[in-house]
Amino acid sequence: MPRLYVPSALRELTDGQSDIELDGKTVGDMLQSLESKHPGTSSRLTSSETAHGLRHGLVVFIDGEQFRTGTRTKVDDNSTVYLVLAQAGGT
């Protein structure tokens, strides 16, 4: 079963859990599974207003590789999925 790594800034959504095993064949499936375990997470992580289905500022890495296909990205049973908050700013 794929695993989702939740960054510290979003762990309030998962009762402090950082590493969660979830059902799914895509990132979107995994986020639906996360919603069933932790209601309210979907509204904080997904968006119908973006082409990739994730809220602005979220980036998906699977097994160390960045993907820009968001919720449509396929995962394997042994994948580790990371939700990363994009960094912005500077001078």
Higher pLDDT, 89 or 19: 19
- For residue 32, what are its two tokens? 């639906």
pLDDT of residue 22: 96
Whether pLDDT at 81 is above 80:
yes
- pLDDT beyond 80 at 26: yes
Q: How confident is the model at residue 84 (pLDDT cuts 50, 70, 90)?
A: confident
pLDDT, position 7: 85
78: alpha, beta or left? (left if phi > 0; alpha if psi -120 to 50): alpha
Edge-to-edge strand list for the sheet holding 65-67? 19-21, 3-5, 80-85, 58-62, 65-67
Q: DSSP assignment, residue 41?
A: H
Kindly provide the residue ranges of all beta strands, DSSP E only, lying in the chain, ordered along the sequence.
Answer: 3-5, 19-21, 58-62, 65-67, 80-85
pLDDT at residue 88, as a whole number: 66
Dist CA 38 CA 57 (whole Å): 21
What pTM does this model have? Answer: 0.88
Instruction: Check residue 91 and give its pLDDT.
Output: 61
* C-alpha–C-alpha distance, residues 76 and 20, integer Å: 15
